[in-house]
């Protein structure tokens, strides 16, 4: 999507898509559930990845209107299989942390693109190192 409030969004591609954001929110919930289990607060952990998929995006987006964000609807689906999911977290915790995860992925991509560009520019400079040019006054 590219519009007034999201200029350049199309260049992020799948890195900032709804599916990527959903996956990031699930990663946050998974990390928290795993931490609760390691601390012996939760009785165990469950793989949350298969509970919700990109096929659920439309339903989650629809439910987000009531709460102002998709986390409550996501948590309801996760708790069907993992009752300890989200215990001790707020929706804001999940939204903020998932945004940071998405941004980390974007920064990694930008760094890779910048390395490629610097390499290309260095190759051009090296290739023209001995090229004679007219001076400018």
**CB 75 within 8 Å of CB 85:** yes
The better pLDDT of the pair 12, 123 is held by 123
Scanning the structure block, which residue is given the tokens 């987006």?
Answer: 61
What spatial distance separates the first Cα and last Cα of the chain, rounded to whole Å?
A: 47
Domains and CATH numbers, the chain: 10-126 (1.10.275.10)
Within 10 angstroms of residue 122's Cβ, the number of other Cβ atoms is 10
Residue 2: per-residue pLDDT: 47
For the entire predicted model, the pTM comes to: 0.79
Cα distances from 66 to residues 61, 62, 69, in angstroms, run 10, 8, 8
Q: What is the pLDDT of residues 55-104, one digit of tens each?
A: 888 899 888 888 889 999 999 999 998 999 999 999 999 999 999 999 99
């Amino acid at each position: 999507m590219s519009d007034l409030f999201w200029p350049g969004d199309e260049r992020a591609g799948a890195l900032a898509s709804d599916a990527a954001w959903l996956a990031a929110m699930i990663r946050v919930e998974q990390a928290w559930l795993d931490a609760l289990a390691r601390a012996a607060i939760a009785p165990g952990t469950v793989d949350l990845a298969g509970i919700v998929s990109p096929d659920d995006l439309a339903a989650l987006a629809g439910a987000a209107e009531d709460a102002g964000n998709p986390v409550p609807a996501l948590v309801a689906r996760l708790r069907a299989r993992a009752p300890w999911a989200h215990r001790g977290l707020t929706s804001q915790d999940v939204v903020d942390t998932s945004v940071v995860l998405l941004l980390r992925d974007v920064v990694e991509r930008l760094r890779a693109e910048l390395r490629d560009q610097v390499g290309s520019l260095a190759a051009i400079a090296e290739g023209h190192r001995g090229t004679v040019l007219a001076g400018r006054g």
